[in-house]
Amino acid sequence: MSLIKSKQIRSLDAIQVNQTDDMQFVSASDKANFSDKYTKKEVDDKLTDARGDVSKQITDITTSITNVNTKIDEDVKTINATTVDLQNQINTNNTTITNEITDINTSITKVDTKIDDDVKTINATTSDLQNQINVNNTNITKQITDINTSITNVDTKVDEDIKTINATTTDLQNQINVNNTNITKQITDINTSITNVDTKVDEDIKTINATTTDLQNQINVNNT
């Protein structure tokens, strides 16, 4: 407040100085010329007028200073009241912010604790999963080994069975060939027998026919 008053007063002092500067002082030579131009009454009147103007200016300045001081006092009261309100608001805000920060820190602590618990649980679960994976890998490796062994055994058995089948097939083919040869010979023999039978039948038919003719002739003779 003192700083504001000091500035206002210096400003008013500056106005007073400027007004004083407007009163033109004259030199000694100018004074002689001045006395020749004006009578004492005229000079006294001018001085009286000048003193009146200066008194009025001083009164105006004093009034202005009083008004400025009054305005400054009012402004200072307003500023002080505003400052108190601001300080109260700042205190309230500080309390609110402090409480909010405390709540946030509490929440962060809870979150950190929850994260720690979750991490422990995840680590335990991950460890269990890794152990299970290791067991599964061992079992799968054993199963794959067993399967490969079985496949090898099957391959060996298949190879042996194929060899047996091939040998059996060869024997069967040989037997079939022998059978085919025998069947062909038997068919030839049958055909030959059939031909012989046909020839014999033809001859027998001829004989029967001749005999029948002779018998018919004999019957005819007998009938006659």
What's the confidence (pLDDT) of residue 11? Answer: 44
According to the model, what pLDDT value does residue 161 have? 92
Please give the chain's pLDDT, 224 residues, in tens. Answer: 333 444 444 444 444 444 344 444 555 555 555 555 656 676 667 767 666 677 778 888 888 888 888 898 898 898 888 889 899 999 999 999 999 999 999 999 999 999 999 999 999 999 999 999 999 999 999 999 999 999 999 999 999 999 999 999 999 999 999 999 999 999 999 999 889 988 988 898 898 888 888 888 888 888 87
pLDDT at position 57, please? 80
pLDDT, residue 5, reads 40
d(CA 202, CA 196): 10
Domain residue limits, the chain:
2-119
Q: What is the pTM of this model?
A: 0.36
- Please, how many CA atoms are within 13 Å of residue 29, restricted to the half-sphere of its CB? 0
